Amino acid sequence: METERKKVIFSAIQPSGTITLGNYLGALKNWVALQDEYDCIFSLADLHTITVRQDPATFRKNTTEAYALLLACGIDPKKSIFFIQSHVPAHAQLAWVLNCYTQFGELSRMTQFKDKAAKHADNINAGLFTYPSLMAADILLYQADLVPVGADQKQHLELTRNIADRFNAAYSPTFNLPDGYIPKHGARIMSLQDPSSKMSKSDSNVNGFVALLDPPEVVMRKFKRAVTDSEACVRYAEGKDGVNNLMGIYSCVTGKTMEEIEHEFEGRGYGDFKTAVGEAVVEHLRPIQEKYAQYIADKAYLEECYREGAQRAERIANRTLAKVMKKIGFLPA
């Protein structure tokens, strides 16, 4: 009896330095959970990273460390394909082709381009403008069925579908049209200092974010300084953004519901609550940090993993690229 084909999920993250608790609870933790149910293809999107100028030595270090950290988080290179984007040249090649099937007006409407151009006014380069076409290539090369997306990426996924639809209509069905995947247990983790903003490594206040590799004493200090309110009551409610954020984090790392958390801290102050959240996060990160230390000390194993991942990714990507090149009319090499 023929088994039903697993759906393909593609997702990528940039290796541009610090990976935060927000990145982990909002995306990476879900990646790990998806590996048994789907055919997962995960990538470190290093080509995307260079839209902002990088120091070469730091860039190499960040990429190596990000690969080791994602392994430590639970990405299994035996279950999933996990590779570094620049190791598969088909990404850059298909991106150029898709640039020619993407309209200038579509790219100019991308809100992330406007945001990043404002942040990097001294380096508004063509790559920053056209990187949604590279993102489309990342997804379409693997005929992905589903792409995990946050609110800030929905616009890019819609553009990917438009590009694929345009190419399919011009030639014949070539690309699968991917759908967005909203995880069952998604988490939007906010800054500990400004709970109206998403937790980000670029926060000017280092107490606003927790990095996955922060030592326990640093994690505790950041949670003890977290913004709450004057009510001194642990409950999930509108207008209590700081407390709601801490409750969300505590729920993610302990599995407790909001009702259970409210009951646990009934009659207790924010000092107890913030200490408990910090301790729970420290314990949750401990095995990740221990595994990271093992992986980063074994460069030969890391190289073996990312080279094998690239070979597996390349076999799939090159099949798609060959179809595209043939349909357009390029002479075979």
Helix (H) or strand (E) holding 40, with range, is: strand 39-44
Cβ–Cβ under 8 Å, residues 80 and 30: no
Q: Which of 79, 201, 224, 256 is catalytic?
A: 201
Q: How open is the CA angle 77-93-63, to the nearest 5 degrees?
A: 40
Is 327 catalytic? The answer is: no
Q: Tokens at residue 164, please? A: 């694929």
Q: Which of 29, 116, 240, 274 is catalytic?
A: 116
CA–CA gap between residue 278 and residue 274 (Å, rounded): 6
Structure-token match 């326990």, residue found: 216
CB atoms within 10 A of CB 198: 18
What distances in angstroms separate CA 18 from CA 29, 84, 192, 211, 283, one per listed residue?
Answer: 16, 17, 16, 6, 20
Region for residue 267 given its phi and psi (left: phi exceeds 0; alpha: psi -120 to 50; beta: otherwise): left
User: In degrees rounded to 5, what are phi and psi of residue 102?
Assistant: -115, 130
Is 198 catalytic? The answer is: yes
CA–CA gap between residue 57 and residue 102 (Å, rounded): 34
- Would you name the residues annotated as active-site residues? 116, 198, 201
